[in-house]
Amino acid sequence: SARKGALKKLENLAHVIGHSLSEPDNRSPSSIDQFYRRLNFAVRDHFGNQVQASEFWTQVEFEKMAKKFDRMHMKDIATKNNAHNSLNINSVYFPAGDLQSPLFNVDFPEYLNYAVARQVRTEWFDNSLEKFKERAQCFIYQYGNFTIPDPDGHKHNLNGALTLGENIADNGGIKKAYWAWFERYLSDPKSAKYNNKRLPGLKEYTPEQMFFIQYARAWCTQPNPKNYEEALASDHPPAKYRIIGVLQNSQDFANAFKCRSGTPMNPVKSENSKCDLW
């Protein structure tokens, strides 16, 4: 069944945390030096440097073809902020760039750290493909109704189909991250006292509320209307709607902030709103 297949895939999921565990070993300066020593950049030749870098990475990819495939290799550099799930090789990558303040810190309360660890764990149901298409349509409609302004103030609708993959990942990820944190929070008697303390100056907010505040804070940015065409053509929705869309769909958010049913941040569930896939 689809569920058994998903559970088997989960058992074989590879995790690469912080940095690549293969060539080059990011923990070793000598390994990094050895890997890049073929490069010889010139200070005043930007174009030549780009050509040389392109040739270098092409050669690296060709050399991989003669080696055993390594799922523990992180293609991105460790400093990049790009945690992601590589579906075709069943691996999850968390570069060190995602594990830095102000998003993540070992001394932060757990509700802050879990809020930004929003990788998707999938569950499956009978008739998976049919159910997926049916539920995905809700996200397409919801995000397709969000708009962004151009420099003249005219509003343009997002392409809900184009951003569907990211929207599903965002919505599923935050739901699973919240459940993972909340289950630990409730099951560990010492958790509330030692790992989930209230923050100075923010003690009026519960840990549940702070979880979602931290999620939203991770997407805080200043949009530029001049970039509206680029935003409309992207398969990633604007940061604003990565917050609003996800939280509108989250019943956990509505419960935490006591949003009444039928209000903007807790719409009544229907085939076109309050979307849920997993």
64-103 pLDDT, tens digit each: 888 888 887 877 777 887 777 777 788 888 888 888 888 8
At residue 124, the pLDDT reads 44
Output the six-digit token pair for 137.
């349509």
Torsion of CA 123, 252, 147, 240, to 10 degrees: -100
pLDDT tens per residue across span 229-269 = 999 999 999 999 999 999 999 999 999 999 999 999 999 98
Beta bridge partners of residue 266, listed in sequence order: 263
Say what the pLDDT of residue 121 is: 43
Confidence tier at 181 by pLDDT (50, 70, 90): very high
Give the tens place of pLDDT for each residue, 184-239: 888 887 777 678 888 899 999 999 999 999 999 989 888 888 888 999 999 999 99
Alpha helices (runs of H) in the chain, residue ranges in sequence order? 2-11, 29-36, 46-64, 110-115, 128-144, 164-187, 207-217, 228-233, 239-249, 251-257
pLDDT band at 160 (very low <50, low <70, confident <90, very high): very high
Residue 109 φ/ψ, nearest 5 degrees:
-60, 150
- pLDDT band of residue 20 (cuts 50, 70, 90) is confident
What is the pTM assigned to this prediction? 0.77
Residue 18 has pLDDT above 80, yes or no: yes
